[in-house]
Amino acid sequence: MVACGCSPANVQSFDAGAGDEGGGSADVGSDAPNSGSSGGDDAPRSDSPIVDASSLDDTWSPDSSDAWNDASVEGGPVDDSGLPAAMPSAGCRKTPAQSLQMFVQYTTTIGNTSRVYRVWLPAGYDPQRSYRTIFLGHGCGDNDGCAACGPAGTPFPGLETIADAILVAMVAEGSCFDNGDGTTSSPELLYFDQVLKEVSASFCVDQARVFVGGFSSGSWVSHLIGCARAGTGPGKVRAQVTATGEWPDPPPCTGPIASILAHDMNDTNNPFSAGEVARDHILQTNHCSQQTVPYSYDGVTPATGSSGNCAITSPGCQPCVEYQGCMTGYPVIWCPTNGNNPAHSRQVPITTVGLWKFVAQF
């Protein structure tokens, strides 16, 4: 199998080999109750493969002796800006074994199951500096790329050129992510825990600033992880950004989670009403009121009471609102669009420019 994505020109080609499960024969558009759906609007690509870590020299290999909670650089409680200080991971000060600005694929084992994930290091990556780290979940069948995907099947094309962050592309074992019927034993929670542990040991992750985002099935799993791993510090998630996702009936949330959710009113793959259910759960968790004010997702074009009810690609469209009264540091942004084509949309640029603006405040 060749793993692929819509990647920049400097992404190298390789054959991933056997044992790498993907979605070549996936049921694209499946609306299985605990999976979500990509809507069937993405066709596979094969022109810009990623790189497998096994093809690189001196690639780090997970070792049980690696410190999980022991940061190699200590940070104070608050930095000069008043934000919580960075919590550098054990991977800080380690020279990365992979190239910058390309996704490199790694293989891990959870129990008896082999899973893969892909890591992108930004331009100018400095192992002395801890980075915001964003986990990304794809739609059903997009495991190895699609016509509308970002590189390596990532859900939000263009994010890699905007975010000064470590990006981690999660890859479902089958076509869709498995939300485990709302239990803490969901295989995706165990997968996330293991991948975050390995990435934190290899690269300079700011453990106070780990985020998760996704489209469709990846949005479902983002809600699951965001709820079950909400918090700040090793193994926790500070905020989430989702497009066209439903609420996967997760276990009780471990705390509030800053969130931005975008959903088109005409989506029939993951109904708009289901997106409202997800929003309402987060509003309750974050103790928000029902009062809203217009919110400019890009911080450039003004948002007003009449700038919404539009397709996100329409000039001047600013559909988002911010709920008031939420717990300090845990805002909830709701972005209902109307007329996206397709309606089951990745919600770019809310999920690229808007995503980075949102997480950069933390």
pLDDT digit string, tens, across residues 170-182: 999 999 999 877 6
234-272 confidence digits (pLDDT tens): 999 999 999 998 888 887 889 999 999 999 999 999 999
263-314 confidence digits (pLDDT tens): 999 999 999 999 999 999 999 999 999 999 999 999 999 999 999 999 999 9
Specify whether the CB–CB gap between 337 and 311 falls below 8 A: yes
- The mean of the pLDDT values for the chain is 82
Distance of alpha carbon 236 from alpha carbon 257, whole angstroms: 10
CB atoms within 10 A of CB 33: 10
Distance of alpha carbon 143 from alpha carbon 323, whole angstroms: 34
Arithmetic mean of pLDDT, 183-189: 80
CB atoms within 10 A of CB 210: 31
- With bands split at pLDDT 50, 70 and 90, how would you rate the model's confidence at 62? very low
Closest by CA position to 159, among listed 337, 8, 340: 8
333-355 confidence digits (pLDDT tens): 999 999 999 999 999 999 999 99
Q: CATH code at 93?
A: 3.40.50.1820
Residue of 50 and 145 predicted with greater confidence: 145
- With bands split at pLDDT 50, 70 and 90, how would you rate the model's confidence at 53? confident
pTM reported for the whole predicted model: 0.83
Look at residue 67 and tell me if it is in a domain.
no
Look at residue 4 and tell me if it is in a domain.
no
Amino acid at residue number 38? S
Look at residue 82 and tell me if it is in a domain.
no
Is residue 157 reached through a cis peptide bond, with omega within 30 degrees of 0 on the bond before it?
A: no
For residue 303, give its domain range. 51-57+87-359
Arithmetic mean of pLDDT, 13-17: 30
Look at residue 124 and tell me if it is in a domain.
yes
Distance of alpha carbon 261 from alpha carbon 111, whole angstroms: 33
Distance of alpha carbon 278 from alpha carbon 284, whole angstroms: 10
According to the model, what pLDDT value does residue 20 have? 34
Residue 164: phi and psi, rounded to 5, are: -90, 75
According to the model, what pLDDT value does residue 169 have? 98
Arithmetic mean of pLDDT, 118-142: 97
Distance of alpha carbon 329 from alpha carbon 317, whole angstroms: 26
Look at residue 103 and tell me if it is in a domain.
yes
Arithmetic mean of pLDDT, 317-322: 98
The total domain count for the chain is 1
Is residue 349 reached through a cis peptide bond, with omega within 30 degrees of 0 on the bond before it?
A: yes
pLDDT at 141 over 80: yes
- With bands split at pLDDT 50, 70 and 90, how would you rate the model's confidence at 190? very high
Look at residue 12 and tell me if it is in a domain.
no
According to the model, what pLDDT value does residue 249 have? 82
According to the model, what pLDDT value does residue 208 have? 96
Look at residue 161 and tell me if it is in a domain.
yes
Percent of the residues in the chain that have a pLDDT greater than 90, as a whole number: 69
Which element (helix H / strand E) includes 278? helix 272-285
According to the model, what pLDDT value does residue 44 have? 40
Residues 6+ apart with CB under 8 A from 292: 321, 322, 323, 324, 334
Look at residue 74 and tell me if it is in a domain.
no
Specify whether the CB–CB gap between 111 and 58 falls below 8 A: no
- Number of residues that make up the chain: 362
Percent of the residues in the chain that have a pLDDT greater than 70, as a whole number: 77
Specify whether the CB–CB gap between 286 and 326 falls below 8 A: yes
pLDDT at 184 over 90: no
